[in-house]
Amino acid sequence: MNHQITEKAKETIAIEAAAIQQLTGFVNEQFAAAVQAIYNAKGRLVVTGIGKSAIVGQKIVATLNSTGTPALFMHAADAIHGDLGMVQQDDLVMVISKSGESPEIKVLVPFIQQLGNPIIALVGNTQSFLAQTAQYVIACTVEKEACPNNLAPTTSTTAQMVMGDALAIALMTLNGFDGKDFAKYHPGGNLGKRLYLKVADLYVHNAMPKVMPNASLKEVIVEITQNRLGVTAVVEKNNDLCGIITDGDLRRMLNKTDVLTNITAADIFTPNPKTITPQALAVEALEVLKKYDISQLVVAENNQYLGIIHLHDLIREGII
């Protein structure tokens, strides 16, 4: 029984993967013309559909909005009962349908034509009513559904979603939509934090351990222990950074000598430590920590010691 389950699941994935690969043949002049029309439009892209295609449409709208292309979803059934008022003069309408012959679509399309809004068909059947009436046709034809009865929308809805992603990314490229724009539209959650959270937002909440070069071994140990960051900076009177001492440096020093009298911070510290500026993104700090396999990073600017950012800060904020 388990073998039958896994084989059927693998077959489903294989069918859908093959269908997706074939979609590249439909990325043609019609596709490019549709993308250009959306890009040049003064209004929004209104996406509509019925059944499973409607659910795909909602996902496409969400992707478009989050990548810089204004879009809204209008359910085809609701559109013919009042929601058609959502469509404004400068909008384009993209109708998603596998067959292009659904009763709701056949009723809706003439009303959109009366409004004078251009129609983009994201359609499986390129000989259908929808395809014949649309100004732009993006084909997403599939040979068969993954459903054993070739009935339940599976491969076809996957193809629609992938073509929607292709549309969104093409528009994203035309719009020059970059990481800063993405952060503006995704301020919440871990994704947003990776794009906007700065080192300055984190290190200020930590202690600022530091000792002078002439500090005794006891003073160094107390400073590291009290501030619980596993490290202390070594600074001059003007707060210029000389180096750092980590708890690992202390252990290595103890392994090398049995005589602890008169040992000072100057005898232990590591000069020229890895630093990062307050303006750097937290994710940049993470890259430095990973690259050098360290847990703490000194925050400094113009060699002025400002504080410490710790790996735990990044974990707590969900950056990792």
Contact predicate 277/299, CB 8 Å: yes
| Residues written for the chain | 320
312 is in an annotated binding site: no
Q: Which of 61-68's residues contact partners 24+ apart within 8 Å by CB, and which partners? A: 63/164, 63/165, 63/168, 64/167, 64/168, 64/171, 65/185, 66/182, 66/185, 66/186, 67/168, 67/169, 67/171, 67/172, 67/175, 67/177, 67/182, 67/185, 68/171, 68/172, 68/175, 68/177, 68/181, 68/185
DSSP H or E run through 65: helix 52-66
Q: What is the distance between the alpha carbons of residues 293 and 207, in angstroms, rounded to a whole number?
A: 22
DSSP H or E run through 56: helix 52-66
Residue corresponding to tokens 């068909």: 121
Residues contributing to the annotated binding site: 75
Task: Extract the annotated binding site for Zn(2+).
Answer: 75
